[in-house]
Amino acid sequence: MDVELLHYTPLTVVAHAIRTCWQSFDKGDRGGPRDRELIDRVGNKYKHSSTLEHLVYTFYIRGISRALLQELARHRIASLSVKSTRYTLKELKKEPPFQDGDLKRAEEFIVLTGDERVDRASVEALERLRQLLVAGISNDFAKYALPECYKSELTWTINGRSLQNFLSLRSSPSALWEMRNLAYAVFDALPEDHKYLFHPYLTPKEEK
Ligand SMILES: Cc1cc2nc3c(=O)[nH]c(=O)nc-3n(C[C@H](O)[C@H](O)[C@H](O)COP(=O)(O)OP(=O)(O)OC[C@H]3O[C@@H](n4cnc5c(N)ncnc54)[C@H](O)[C@@H]3O)c2cc1C
């Protein structure tokens, strides 16, 4: 998978929002140590968490499975714009047949798990889907034969408060492995000076 941060709100905006409450603008230092400490104290420690909603991040997430996508969509406090299979199955239709165990080429379309039996079954499902398309079945019907491993991509926008909740739930060892990978990739893509607000919500990778 690939996670790219397209856009984010600078820390000065959330500092401004917090300082609005008691009109302490003169104490601001343009996103410097005083503002950073204030955001952490008010947003995290005092649990005045709504202030963190002024922080908004937009990511371009590519190469995740539809299995992961449907779990990601459960996070209601976020906005998703997802690649449409109705229009994009034509990419698969142009492919030559997938032979048994043709994992390398299939990986362009599906997420592999590393379990050979599962991955071979996924390639077979991909080939059956390709055959439907070649036989002239319309995308609107063929999409019902999509395997869960089929790759998707989306633009995902989430605010800081909801992102803390996401990272806390989805970096946990009880989360799906691919979701856990996504949580770490999203954290890694954050601006360095924002990470301190989210790091406490992340379960370390080595915890299984
Ligand atoms: C390990 C794991 C296993 C899971 N297994 C399943 C499963 O088997 N089946 C299944 O259906 N789901 C499952 N889920 C999904 C889970 O139930 C949540 O839907 C998902 O994690 C999104 O969490 P959320 O509601 O906190 O996030 P969001 O929807 O982004 O909501 C963020 C926060 O806003 C508040 N909020 C949002 N909507 C409401 C509301 N209507 N009322 C009150 N407060 C609200 C809550 O405080 C919530 O935490 C699983 C999640 C995890 C992490």
Condensed to tens digits (0 to 9), the pLDDT of residues 114-139 reads 999 999 999 999 999 999 999 999 99
The answer to whether residue 170 is catalytic is yes
- Domain segments of the chain as ranges: 2-64+69-79+152-201, 84-151
- Report how far residue 158's alpha carbon sits from residue 165's, in angstroms, rounded to the nearest whole number: 11
Lowest mean pLDDT among 56-60, 98-102, 140-144: 98-102
* Ligand 1 centre distance from Cα of residue 95 (Å): 38
**Residues 6+ positions from 166 with CB-CB distance below 8 Å:** 75, 78, 158, 183, 186
In the three-class reduction of DSSP (H, G, I as helix; E, B as strand; rest coil), residue 61 is classed as strand
CATH of domain 2-64+69-79+152-201: 3.30.1360.170
pLDDT at site 105: 94
Q: What is the pLDDT of residue 124?
A: 95
Is residue 186 within 8 A of residue 59, CB to CB? The reply is: yes
Among 47, 68, 165, 178, which is best to mutate for testing ligand 1, by the most ligand atoms less than 8 A from CB?
Answer: 165
* Ligand 1 centre distance from Cα of residue 77 (Å): 10
Over residues 57-66, mean pLDDT: 98
Asked if 153 and 68 count as a contact pair (C-beta separation under 8 A), the reply is no
Minimal-distance CA residue to ligand 1 atom 9: 71
Q: Identify the pLDDT of residue 208.
A: 63
pLDDT per residue over 70-129, tens digit each?
A: 999 999 999 999 999 887 898 999 999 998 778 999 999 999 999 999 999 999 999 999
Residue 101: the pLDDT is 74
The one-character DSSP state at 176 is -
**Residue 82, burial from CB neighbour count under 10 angstroms (0-12, 13-18, 19+):** middle
Backbone angles phi, psi at 57, to 5 degrees: -125, 135
pLDDT for the residue 206:
78
For residue 132, the 8-state DSSP code is: H
pLDDT in tens, 157-208: 999 999 999 999 999 999 999 999 999 999 999 999 999 999 999 999 877 6
pLDDT in tens, 29-38: 999 999 999 9
Three-state SS for 19?
Answer: helix
180 burial (CB, 10 Å; 0-12 / 13-18 / 19+) is middle
